[in-house]
Amino acid sequence: METSNLNNTLLALLLALQDSEITLSDTEQSDLSQVAEQLSANPKAWEILIEPRLLVMIQANETLNQRFQAAKSLLDNLGDKIPLNLLPSEAELEQAAPKQKPQVVTRGIPQVSSSDLRSNEITNMAIRVMATPNPSETAKKLSSFDKFQQFLTQNFAQK
C-alpha cells in the first residue's frame, strides 16, 4: 500500500468536505461511513477495494469532485512533505468528532518510520471524520484545516 497516495486521497477528501459549498446526500454520508468502517477493519484493502468505491462516490458529486481534485493536485505536488503540525490535533478532533461508535477502531501507531506514522495519523483522522453522521459538517469544525489549506496554496504559488 502506497502511503502517500492514501494520505493525499484522504486529506484531499477532508479538505474538500470542509468547503462551505459541499453538501452530502444521505447516501453519500452512508458511503463515507462504510469507507470508514472498511478502512478501520482492513486498511490493506485500500487500493483494491476501498479507494475505487470512494472515488466513484466523489466523482458522482460534481462540487465535491472539483474541490477534491484541486486539493489532491496540490497535495500530490507537495509530495511526502505534509507538515503534521498543521493538521488537527487530537483535542480538536475529539471536539469535532467525539469517539462514540464502537466499530471504529483507532489503529495503534507502532514504532516505525515517519511515513508510517503519518499514514496512521491521517488515516485515523479520516476514519473519525467519515464515521460521523455528517462528515462535511465535522470537517468544517476542524479549523486547523484552514491553516493547512493556506499552506498548500502558498506552497503551490511559490512553484
pLDDT digit string (tens) for 74-92?
998 887 777 878 888 888 8
Cα–Cα distance measured from residue 59 to residue 72, given in angstroms and rounded to the nearest whole number: 13
**SS3 at position 102:** coil
Distance from the first to the final alpha carbon of the chain = 29
Instruction: Tell me how far CA of residue 128 lies from CA of 36, 49, 74, 101, 155, in angstroms.
Output: 7, 19, 23, 9, 27
Of 133, 139, 103, 152, nearest in space to 16 by CA: 139
Cα–Cα distance measured from residue 74 to residue 58, given in angstroms and rounded to the nearest whole number: 17
Cα–Cα distance measured from residue 114 to residue 158, given in angstroms and rounded to the nearest whole number: 26
- Residue 82's CB is within 10 A of a number of other CB atoms, namely 21
**H helices present in the chain, as ranges:** 3-18, 26-41, 51-60, 62-78, 90-96, 114-130, 135-140, 144-157
Query: What residue has cell string 507502532?
Result: 110
| Mean pLDDT, the chain, whole residue set | 84
Number of domains in the chain: 1
Instruction: Tell me how far CA of residue 139 lies from CA of 121, 128, 132, 134, in angstroms.
Output: 16, 10, 10, 9
Tens of pLDDT, residues 1-43: 567 789 999 999 999 999 888 899 999 999 999 999 999 999 8
Domain holding 121, by residue range, is 3-157
**Where does the pLDDT of residue 145 fall: very low under 50, low under 70, confident under 90, or very high at 90 and above?**
confident
Cell of 18: 470542509
Better pLDDT: 97 or 69: 69
